[in-house]
Amino acid sequence: RKSLTVGLIPADGIGREVIPAARDAILAVQTELPPVSFVDLLAGWDTFTRTGTALPAETVKTLKEECDCALFGSVSSPSRKVAGYSSPIVALRKELDLYANIRPVRSVSADPSKPPTTDLIVVRENTECLYVKDEKLTTGEHGKEARAIRLITERASTRIGRIAFELAKARPRKLLTIIHKSNVLSVTDGLFRESVRAVPPASNGAFDDVTIEEQLVDSAVYRLFREPQIYDVMVAPNLYGDIISDAAAALVGSLGVIPSINAGDNFVMGEPVHGSAPDIAGKGIANPIASIRSAALMLRHLGYASPADKIDKAVNDTLAPGKVLTADLGGSSSTQEVTGHVMKLIQAQY
Ligand code: NAD
Ligand code: K
Ligand code: MN
């Protein structure tokens, strides 16, 4: 790569407060990267209210034609149906075929000699399941009836399965847990489970060293809270993966520290797992760490491991002593103070 062009889509709410921190992190490691440039792009609820579309065609075009990768903040999606509005992040994942949503959840212990109690990766299928959003409201004999299509395909389940096996293989424990509910949804979740299980036999022994386990989604959440250390890599259909990763965030203190990437074969987009947090937006107190870690995860995915390591180390060295923290982690520092502290610890490594 001769240059690295990063699309920045802060979108709504605290997305606008935390994406600048992710940008700063990339700038702080830029000596280890090809020449970096940023392009500001619009999307989200505010964009919808001003322009009538939540995802302007210009944004998609620029991402496809000019950007190597992107950082997405968070969007405010109304819970009621609004004519003409559709979530831009769900659309972007489909538009750019970002079929894998990878969400590492890792605790940082105050004593660095102790292993983390939670160290897992949720691998979420990112394009189908109930998120195809094919919903219908009709009136039946007893009043309103709502239906939704839950699409599971062999192709999408196999390719997310392959990503999950590759991630599991690269980790010390090499354990993959398939999350499903095929005791009830034997056709849809049954296909997901079978497709993931079919990956190793089709891979010439590449994944022979990966241990495969299965867990029903409800008891998986139960076990996650009782004994998080049992999990290594978890692979799940879209909705279960969304819920499990938000739940796992509680184990490590806050949604504000959990990063993700949306990855496809040709593009990657970093994104904090949290939403636009309207309850704290505009106050300058949002935790920037999920976004900073998302930048590192994105760089790592692009092959820049050394700068990603430096960002992660600076974050861990901020979290472990626990002195410079935002309110969600029990501290009183601002977004800017935490960002500044992390940047200082990145710079100290050069
Ligand atoms: P949320 O993640 O926005 O917030 C949940 C709770 O966590 C809130 O109390 C919030 O203050 C706190 N929190 C989240 N991120 C934080 C951070 N960085 N620092 C400190 N505290 C943080 O979820 P929600 O309240 O269910 O949803 C709010 C809006 O966000 C909704 O409109 C929803 O549609 C949207 N949302 C968007 C995405 C996305 O952009 N991919 C994801 C989830 C929710
Ligand atoms: K988000
Ligand atoms: Mn979520």
* d(C-alpha 324, C-alpha 314), whole Å: 12
Distances (CA, A) of 137 to 129, 143, 254: 19, 10, 36
**333: DSSP letter:** -
**Residues in Cβ contact with 50 at an 8 Å cutoff, skipping those fewer than 6 apart:** none
Residues 262 and 233 in one domain: no
Residues 43 and 91 in one domain: yes
In single-letter form, the type of residue at position 284 comes to: G
Which of 81, 243, 274, 292 is the best mutation target for the ligand 1 pocket, counting ligand atoms within 8 Å of the beta carbon and taking the most?
274
Ramachandran class of 36: left when φ > 0, alpha when ψ lies in -120 to 50, beta otherwise: beta
| 331 CA → ligand 1 middle, Å | 19
Structural domain span for residue 141:
128-251
Query: Shortest CA distance to 169 belongs to which of 195, 201, 200, 124?
Result: 200
Is 115 contained in some domain?
Answer: no
Structural domains of the chain, count: 2
Residue 115 has pLDDT above 90, yes or no: no
Residues 141 and 96 in one domain: no
- Say what angle helices 238-251 and 217-226 make with each other, to 10 degrees: 10
- Is 279 close to ligand 1, i.e. is its CB under 6 Å away? yes
Please identify, among 251, 275, 310, the residue that sits at the C-terminal boundary of a domain.
251
Distances (CA, A) of 173 to 120, 210, 211, 229, 250: 10, 8, 9, 11, 23
Please identify, among 198, 232, 251, the residue that sits at the C-terminal boundary of a domain.
251
Which of 80, 103, 255 is the best mutation target for the ligand 1 pocket, counting ligand atoms within 8 Å of the beta carbon and taking the most?
255
**Token pair of 321, please?**
């002593």
Q: Known catalytic residues?
A: 131, 181, 218, 242, 246
Residues 149 and 96 in one domain: no
Is 121 contained in some domain?
Answer: no
- Is 328 close to ligand 1, i.e. is its CB under 6 Å away? yes
- Is 339 close to ligand 1, i.e. is its CB under 6 Å away? no
Query: Shortest CA distance to 123 belongs to which of 184, 177, 199, 189?
Result: 177
Is 333 contained in some domain?
Answer: yes
pLDDT tens-place string over residues 24-78: 999 999 999 999 999 999 999 999 999 999 999 999 999 999 999 999 999 999 9
pLDDT tens-place string over residues 266-291: 999 999 999 999 999 999 999 999 99
Residue 172 has pLDDT above 80, yes or no: yes
- Is 242 close to ligand 1, i.e. is its CB under 6 Å away? no
Contact yes or no for 73/19 (Cβ under 8 A): yes
Residues 132 and 246 in one domain: yes
| 91 CA → ligand 3 middle, Å | 15
Average pLDDT of every residue of the chain:
96
ipTM of the complex: 0.98
Q: What CATH number corresponds to the domain at position 234?
A: 3.40.718.10
Residues 2 and 77 in one domain: yes
Residues 275 and 239 in one domain: no
Residue 92 has pLDDT above 80, yes or no: yes
**Residues in Cβ contact with 83 at an 8 Å cutoff, skipping those fewer than 6 apart:** none
The DSSP H or E segment spanning 20 is helix 15-28
* d(C-alpha 300, C-alpha 11), whole Å: 24
Residues 219 and 278 in one domain: no
Please identify, among 232, 251, 270, the residue that sits at the C-terminal boundary of a domain.
251
pLDDT tens-place string over residues 204-253: 999 999 999 999 999 999 999 999 999 999 999 999 999 999 899 999 98
Is 185 contained in some domain?
Answer: yes
What is residue 54's predicted lDDT score, i.e. its pLDDT? 97
Is 282 contained in some domain?
Answer: yes
**Token pair of 147, please?**
């239906």
Residue 302 has pLDDT above 90, yes or no: yes
Residues 273 and 336 in one domain: yes
Residues 207 and 148 in one domain: yes
Residues 308 and 211 in one domain: no
Is 28 contained in some domain?
Answer: yes
Is 119 contained in some domain?
Answer: no
Residue nearest to atom 32 of ligand 1 (CA): 76
Is 321 contained in some domain?
Answer: yes
**HSE (side-chain half, CA atoms, 13 Å) at 302:** 28
Residue 112 has pLDDT above 80, yes or no: no
Residues 236 and 136 in one domain: yes
- Is 287 close to ligand 1, i.e. is its CB under 6 Å away? yes
| 273 CA → ligand 3 middle, Å | 6
| 18 CA → ligand 2 middle, Å | 10
The DSSP H or E segment spanning 194 is helix 188-197
